[in-house]
């Protein structure tokens, strides 16, 4: 069975319903994972997704902040839905479920980390590092050769030099600092994950999934970062069939500052 899985930080579902509509009109991924939905489960606007055939859903929402959701077409039922909190803090940053074939799909929204990469003077940055540490340890404890896991989301780290527009200028900017990259490397090693995007795109080729709202000429300047990721466990890696970063979505009106990333995968 081949399926397509998309991940997208929409920066508020209700504020960007028309943006989501544009994407769904152009693409029809079998599974759609959203981050920063910024709405509680009870008032989530499900109608748009139902209209496009996404009859299965797993919501983990929160008022005004954070929140993650998974949607799937009729042929891809979502089972064993788990909503998980981290670091002893009730923030809606992780939901996971089981897809056909026993594939466990994880949707994450990692804390952004604030403005200063300083654990002593920035609690948000400390929380980001603690979050990644806890998640890494959890996957390491669960590691088994036969595990069929897919991990997607806004992980808020651009790990490679080619994942940012200027490596040297961003070394002290949250999302690309050495300590964040080290924490992501530990997470990546926790289950010998395979980066689905870099499976197809050479590591020295610049690719981005986020462009700041502060840049009115985002496309011309192209000062982006790759913050949105799709990983698979080694057992699933042979089934990787293709990947796409939908850069055109950054030009939608209104736009999220992130764009969808889509992977084709045989499960």
Q: At 98, which CATH number?
A: 3.60.10.10
The predicted pLDDT at position 254 comes to 95
Q: What is the DSSP letter of 164?
A: B
**Angstrom distance (rounded) from CA 147 to CA 143:** 7
Number of domains in the chain: 1
Find the domain containing 209 and state its range.
2-266
Residues in the chain: 267
Q: What number is the average pLDDT over the span 173-189?
A: 98
- The yes-or-no verdict on residue 189 having pLDDT over 90 is yes
The helix or strand, by DSSP H or E, that contains position 229, with its residue range, turns out to be strand 228-232
**Angstrom distance (rounded) from CA 149 to CA 206:** 26
Q: What number is the average pLDDT over the span 206-214?
A: 96
Q: pTM score > 0.85 for this model?
A: yes
Ramachandran assignment for 263, one of left (phi > 0), alpha (psi -120 to 50 degrees), beta (any other): beta
Q: What number is the average pLDDT over the span 10-20?
A: 97
- Strands 68-72, 240-245: pairing kind: unpaired
């Amino acid at each position: 069975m081949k399926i397509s899985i998309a991940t997208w930080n929409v920066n508020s579902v209700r504020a960007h319903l028309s943006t989501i509509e544009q994407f769904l009109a152009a693409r029809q991924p079998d599974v759609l994972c959203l981050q920063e939905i910024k709405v509680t489960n009870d008032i989530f606007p499900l109608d748009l997704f139902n209209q496009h055939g996404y009859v299965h859903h797993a919501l983990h929402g929160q008022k005004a902040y954070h929140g993650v959701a998974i949607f799937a077409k009729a042929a891809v039922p979502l089972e064993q839905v788990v909503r998980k909190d981290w670091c002893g803090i009730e923030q809606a940053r992780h939901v996971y479920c089981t897809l056909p074939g026993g594939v466990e799909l994880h949707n994450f929204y990692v804390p952004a980390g604030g403005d200063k990469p300083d654990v002593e003077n920035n609690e948000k940055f400390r929380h980001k590092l603690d979050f990644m540490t806890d998640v890494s340890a959890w996957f390491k404890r669960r590691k088994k050769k036969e595990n069929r896991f897919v991990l997607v989301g806004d992980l808020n780290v651009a790990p490679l030099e080619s994942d940012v527009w200027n490596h040297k200028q961003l070394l002290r900017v949250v999302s690309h600092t050495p300590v964040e990259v080290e924490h992501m490397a530990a997470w990546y090693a926790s289950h010998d994950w395979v980066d689905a995007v870099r499976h197809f795109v050479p590591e020295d080729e610049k690719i981005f999934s986020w462009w700041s709202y502060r840049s009115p000429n985002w496309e011309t300047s192209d000062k982006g970062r790759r913050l949105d990721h799709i990983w698979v466990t080694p057992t699933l890696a042979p089934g990787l069939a293709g990947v796409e970063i939908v850069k055109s979505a950054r030009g939608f009106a209104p736009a999220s500052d992130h764009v969808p990333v889509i992977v084709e995968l045989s499960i």
